[in-house]
Structure 1
């Protein structure tokens, strides 16, 4: 005990509130959107507290389930997988571009991105806000706009090698019976970049000038993609 006349210790400084914006779609066995042939998410309890002393679940999911990152290995045999991606490339400054208001399966051309070109610098992550996250889990989600491959090339010329979008794919999803196009994937992943898909909440970050994001995958060797917990914040707030 301190003597009665001892000064009281200073009160602890108030902790600054952290504003983290969750950009991840929820995973649930009951819903979600998937590319054709991809496994659906499942979480099955295999141990419980009463019988085993703790709860343990077995997860079923694909490397491109929910909000996830594509590594070059997704389209190029022998290319780096998610375990080889430099985490520093997936955590950093980002520029969110508003490309909402487009029709089903519209093409997002370079002219929609050009006003932000001065901010497209090496290491910057570019996010395309189509507004399509609102259709997650519905048939219309697959009818999202897609990025023009020339726009992807122009981003690469600016030094941008990581792009994110709030849809199943920056290439768009073909109608039934149509041939799939993977030009944007081949362009971005072919230069060693990464693509983040099925983001949500990009509308919340459009007005943040000094935006920071984290898109870290699981450290899985030899794997072509990984689900992620995508988050964003304003620089200086965290």
Structure 2
């Protein structure tokens, strides 16, 4: 009998009462419009931005003519992951290629690189800590693309400095055909295993982003 795999949930729950959203983002709402008691069935309406919660950035998020979510090949969003421990990083500290990512020999084409800063601990907390996260220098985007890394996942809301008005990492990585998955969680559970991850989005035609229900499991 095959042993059932234990799945690790990498996505934050979407809860309108417990969520981190940058102030320029549309609010997330989930409202009942039919109930079993009144209508014999239950239905809710959902309103949200395409970059709410754990989600993926498609190239057209910043790149004119870039691929949209429905044009994204699913095979690039599923595969072996390289987890990089960056939990020593402080607020608004730079993650650099030379100092923080000496893992080039492990970055094989098709590997999904996942940066673990531990910042998901600030998700939905009062204050602005979640948006004062470490950021990734643009050189990292170039080096990942040079190694045919198409997907970068992070447990922060942005590989660039949130609120700075600049998006250099996005521009380079998405411009090179890459995809960015933001607001991951539970990455500490990937330590000590050989993780495979699945980061599949809702198939929204023409969209620049979409929610992701990310999962991982041990492939050892």
Give the alignment of 1:89-238 within 5 angstroms: 89-138=76-125, 139-174=128-163, 179-208=164-193, 210-235=194-219
Aligned pair partner of 2:58 in 48, 71, 76: 71
CA gap 1:146/1:98 in 2 versus in 1, 3 angstroms: same
Q: Deviations along 1:19-38, whole A, 9 cap, x unmatched?
A: 10111111111121112311
Residue in structure 1 matched with residue 74 of structure 2 by the alignment:
87
Shift of 1:84: 0.7
Max radius of gyration: which structure? 1
Shift of 1:112: 4.3
Shift of 1:158: 1.1
**Are 2:53 and 1:53 aligned?**
no
RMSD (Å), alpha carbons: 1.4
Residue in structure 2 matched with residue 8 of structure 1 by the alignment:
none
Note if contact 2:159-2:170 (Cα within 8 Å) is conserved in structure 1.
yes
Structure 2: gaps spanning 5 or more residues = none
Aligned length: 218
Normalising by the residue count of structure 2, what TM-score does the alignment of the two structures yield?
0.94
Note if contact 2:66-2:175 (Cα within 8 Å) is conserved in structure 1.
no
Alpha-carbon distance in 2 for matches of 1:112, 1:39: 36
Note if contact 1:153-1:187 (Cα within 8 Å) is conserved in structure 2.
yes
Normalising by the residue count of structure 1, what TM-score does the alignment of the two structures yield?
0.87
Shift of 1:226: 0.2
Shift of 1:42: 1.2
Alpha-carbon distance in 2 for matches of 1:25, 1:134: 11
Shift of 1:121: 1.3
Alpha-carbon distance in 2 for matches of 1:214, 1:131: 20
Note if contact 1:97-1:206 (Cα within 8 Å) is conserved in structure 2.
no
